């Protein structure tokens, strides 16, 4: 895949090379074992921090590389996806959804204490919004936080939380006011806080290397100083956070498609049937041509929306479109790749089998396909 010169500069290419070497040295030799084990070593966070990977997209003041270079983040994320494990990428990158609300809207004390620890790989950050029975209905979440002097008393639960088992800091959406989006706030809750417990590591169809957990709050007392942003103003913070999260999901989907295409191209040149390679059949060549066209179109669409985000434009409609388009493409590409591989595509030793499993969550996480269509419709005035 050739990065467009219109979007990526020399610094981005240096970052891309650095992340590629990190993946080749620190991840690829172990990824199959980590997938089967359902986790990867915690020390990978500190190794990623040493290369500067964790700091991309976060403020320099706290040890990051700067929060305003969208294409540096895109380049790094594309290369990280070459580890072939969406689960590892999701868990290693959980700070990218858990931490921005802290450094954007947290108190100076909270920022100074929490952000450097996470960016250095010493601590792990996670975002906790989804609730049992709640799904994408963020405005109607039920976890309640009641002010009691200098603390909030939190009761409720969260589920499907990426890095939920071993995170140290959780950016948690709670209800501090009336029903609807106007009563939602964000609190930073630390592991070990009395009344806060973490459930088991949930078993999933894909993203095996990612720990995913339920969280429980029972009269959990959280210092009021851990409020992120204004009380009852959390919904705006959450929605702002979603724009970059959805862009990164586009990148994950596009790279899933790219990896499926590359694996398919290699396989059809080697696999023989009926006296010729699979590439010798017109139906195979045409399928691959269509797959390549879809990947190219989706990637360029994503890059264009990234450029608009970089320019500070409001892209709520466009990023929702890009996410739906990219995940539609990755659905098609992973399906077709498994079909081209035949029986081998159903085997765990085949990379396309993992890509197909991991892909399924991409049109669900960060706002479902259906919710994205609703967002698009509203932005169209419907």
CA angle 18, 22, 25 (to 5 degrees): 135
d(CA 184, CA 256): 34
Helix (H, G, I), strand (E, B) or coil at 178: coil
146 Cβ neighbours under 8 A, 6+ residues apart: 152, 153, 176
Active-site residue, 67 included: no
Instruction: Tell me the C-alpha distance between 123 and 121, whole Å.
Output: 6
β partners of residue 189: 170
Nearest to 46 by CA among 81, 95, 87: 95
Q: How many CB atoms lie within 10 A of CB 272?
A: 11
Query: What does the DSSP assignment read for 122-189?
Result: SS-EEEE---TTTTT-GGG---EEEEETTEEEEEEEEEEEETTTT-SEEEEEEE-SSSSGGGEEEEEE
Give buried/exposed letters for 302-325 (b at 16+ CB in 10 A, else e): bbbbbbebeeeeebebbbbbbbbb
* Beta strand 144-148 pairing with 184-190: unpaired
Asked whether 16 and 81 are in contact (CB, 8 A), the reply is: no
Angle between helices 10-22 and 70-80 (to 10 degrees): 30
CA distance 124 to 109: 18
Number of Cα atoms under 13 Å in the Cβ half of residue 238: 26
- Residue 264 contacts residue 288 (beta carbons within 8 Å): yes
Q: Would you say how long the chain is, in residues?
A: 382
Catalytic residue among 26, 245, 318, 353: 245
CA distance 99 to 219: 25
Query: Which residue numbers are catalytic?
Result: 245
């Amino acid at each position: 895949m050739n990065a467009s010169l219109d979007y990526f500069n020399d610094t981005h290419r240096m970052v891309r090379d650095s992340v590629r070497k990190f993946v080749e040295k620190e991840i690829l030799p172990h990824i199959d074992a980590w997938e089967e084990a359902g986790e990867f070593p915690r020390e990978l966070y500190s190794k990623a921090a040493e290369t500067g990977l964790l700091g991309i997209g976060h403020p320099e003041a706290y040890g990051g590389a700067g929060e305003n270079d969208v294409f540096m983040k895109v380049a790094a994320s594309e290369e990280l996806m070459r580890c072939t494990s969406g689960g590892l990428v999701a868990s290693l990158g959980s700070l990218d959804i858990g931490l921005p609300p802290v450094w954007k809207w947290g108190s100076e004390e909270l920022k100074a204490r929490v952000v450097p620890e996470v960016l250095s790989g010493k601590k792990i950050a996670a975002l906790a919004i989804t609730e049992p029975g709640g799904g994408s209905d963020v405005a109607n979440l039920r976890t309640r936080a009641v002010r009691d002097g200098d603390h909030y008393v939190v009761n409720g639960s969260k589920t499907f939380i990426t890095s939920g088992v071993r995170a140290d800091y959780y950016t948690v959406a709670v209800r501090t006011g009336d029903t609807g989006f106007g009563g939602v706030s964000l609190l930073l809750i630390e592991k070990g806080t009395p009344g806060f417990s973490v459930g088991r590591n949930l078993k999933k169809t894909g993203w095996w290397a990612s720990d995913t957990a339920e969280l429980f709050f029972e009269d959990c007392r959280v210092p009021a100083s851990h409020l992120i942003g204004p009380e009852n103003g959390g919904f705006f913070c959450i929605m702002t956070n979603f724009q970059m999260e959805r862009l990164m999901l586009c990148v994950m989907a596009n790279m899933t498609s790219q990896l499926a295409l590359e694996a398919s191209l290699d396989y059809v040149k080697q696999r023989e049937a009926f006296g010729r390679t699979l590439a010798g059949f017109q139906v195979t060549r045409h399928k691959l041509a269509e797959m390549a066209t879809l990947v190219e179109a989706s990637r360029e669409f994503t890059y264009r929306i990234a450029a608009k985000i970089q320019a500070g434009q409001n892209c709520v409609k466009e990023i929702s479109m890009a996410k739906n388009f990219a995940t539609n493409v990755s659905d098609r590409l992973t399906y077709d790749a498994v079909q081209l591989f035949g029986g081998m595509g159903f085997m765990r030793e085949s990379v396309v089998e993992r890509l197909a499993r991991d892909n399924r969550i991409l049109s669900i996480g960060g706002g479902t396909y259906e919710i994205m269509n609703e967002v698009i419709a509203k932005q169209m005035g419907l």
